[in-house]
């Protein structure tokens, strides 16, 4: 058989194979595609890069559900009193003005350095043009994460972006997990968390004492205390729910840690008219 004839027969055979594959594909329908992760903070139960669903972690993206956080000037000077201004804008770049009241406030601003130090929880004021403004002072250099935590149209959102503070950053490793820690005002706080499992709700209970005596907390942001949980590495923002009312020496929260790893817990409570902050490292296996 001549070479041209062989090539012609081979080409015809390939055409028949491809035609058969196309017919089979049409009969079976399109092949399933992998789910595309949705930015954390969105809704609908899609998975993020860690395999957690979007409703479990937030704060991994600056934009979600048609909203975006924009900071006027993300460059801050170390140790200086600054005015931090940001906006929540819609798809058209217009500033959003209407926000729901969540935990007695319309906007919660969380700042944390990338090594999970330098935590601040602030409540900015909204100006007439829709921008939010608050005074800040960041004493140490480095990259910080800004979390705008709010509710709009009945939907909770946490949008995040980076800030930079000039100078060489002295980054510190995350402290080892410990059951007890001291607040910035000298209160002793003991954490009982059992053995948290990824994807399962965990009861976190914080017992507060001062000088060995149990302390009854005062209402703070409509509850016995306020808790922010951030995941080591990507600083994913976890939503937690208070489970105990103010007035006792033990504050309870329900938290679902979406993945194994280490998390930094920042508890805030009020006593004698002052807000105290204490931090714990929580390991999830």
Q: Structure pTM?
A: 0.80
> What does the DSSP 8-state code read for residue 9?
H
CB 185 within 8 A of CB 216: no
Burial label for 2, CB within 10 Å (0-12, 13-18, 19+), is exposed
Amino acid 28: pLDDT: 33
The answer to whether the Cα torsion of 185, 241, 152, 55 is positive or negative is positive
> Which domains does the chain show, CATH number per domain?
57-165 (2.60.40.1930), 180-284 (2.60.40.10)
Structural contact between residues 113 and 144, judged by C-beta atoms closer than 8 angstroms: yes
- The pLDDT score that the predictor gives to residue 247 is 63
Residue 167 and residue 80: Cα distance in Å, rounded?
13
Return the pLDDT at 241.
87
The confidence score (pLDDT) of residue 245 equals 57
Q: Which residues contact 257 (CB under 8 A, 6 or more apart)?
A: 196, 197, 198, 199, 202, 229, 238, 263, 282, 284
Reading the chain (285 residues) residue by residue, the pLDDT tens digits are 444 444 344 444 334 333 443 333 333 333 333 333 333 333 333 344 444 443 468 999 999 999 999 999 999 999 999 999 999 999 999 999 999 999 999 999 999 999 999 999 999 999 999 999 999 999 999 999 999 999 999 999 999 999 999 999 999 999 999 999 999 999 999 999 999 999 999 999 999 999 999 999 999 999 999 999 999 999 999 989 898 655 678 999 999 999 999 999 999 999 999 999 999 999 999
Residue partners of 85: CB distance under 8 A and separation at least 6:
71, 72, 73, 131, 132, 133
Q: How many C-beta atoms surround the C-beta of residue 211 within 10 A?
A: 8
Distance CA 255, CA 228 (A): 10
Q: How far apart are CA 72 and CA 241, in angstroms?
A: 32
Rounded to the nearest angstrom, the gap between the alpha carbon of residue 218 and the centroid of all alpha carbons in its chain is 26
Looking at residue 239, its pLDDT comes to 81
């Amino acid at each position: 058989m001549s070479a041209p004839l062989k090539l012609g027969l081979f080409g015809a055979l390939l055409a028949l194979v491809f035609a058969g594959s196309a017919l089979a594909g049409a009969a079976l329908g399109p092949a399933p595609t992998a789910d595309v992760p949705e930015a954390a903070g969105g809704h609908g139960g899609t998975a993020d890069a860690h395999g957690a669903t979007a409703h479990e972690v937030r704060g991994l993206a600056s934009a979600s559900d048609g909203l975006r956080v924009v900071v006027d000037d993300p460059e801050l000077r170390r140790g200086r009193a600054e005015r931090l201004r940001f906006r929540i804008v819609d798809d058209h770049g217009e500033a959003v003005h209407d926000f729901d009241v969540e935990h007695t406030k319309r906007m919660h601003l969380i700042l944390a350095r990338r090594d999970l130090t330098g935590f601040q929880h602030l409540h900015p004021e909204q100006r007439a043009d829709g921008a939010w403004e608050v005074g800040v002072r960041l004493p140490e250099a480095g990259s910080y994460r800004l979390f705008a935590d709010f509710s709009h149209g009945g939907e909770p959102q946490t949008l995040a972006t980076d800030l930079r503070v000039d100078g060489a950053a002295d980054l510190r490793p995350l402290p080892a997990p410990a059951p007890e820690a001291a607040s910035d005002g000298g209160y002793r706080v003991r954490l009982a968390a059992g053995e948290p499992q990824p994807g399962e709700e965990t009861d976190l209970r914080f017992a507060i004492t001062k000088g060995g005596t149990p302390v009854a907390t005062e209402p703070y942001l409509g509850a016995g205390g306020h808790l922010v949980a951030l995941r080591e590495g990507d600083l994913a923002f976890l939503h937690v729910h208070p489970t105990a009312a103010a007035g006792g020496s033990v504050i309870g929260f329900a938290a679902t840690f979406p993945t194994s790893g280490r998390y930094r817990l920042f508890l805030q409570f009020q006593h004698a008219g002052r807000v105290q902050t204490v931090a714990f490292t929580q390991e999830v296996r």
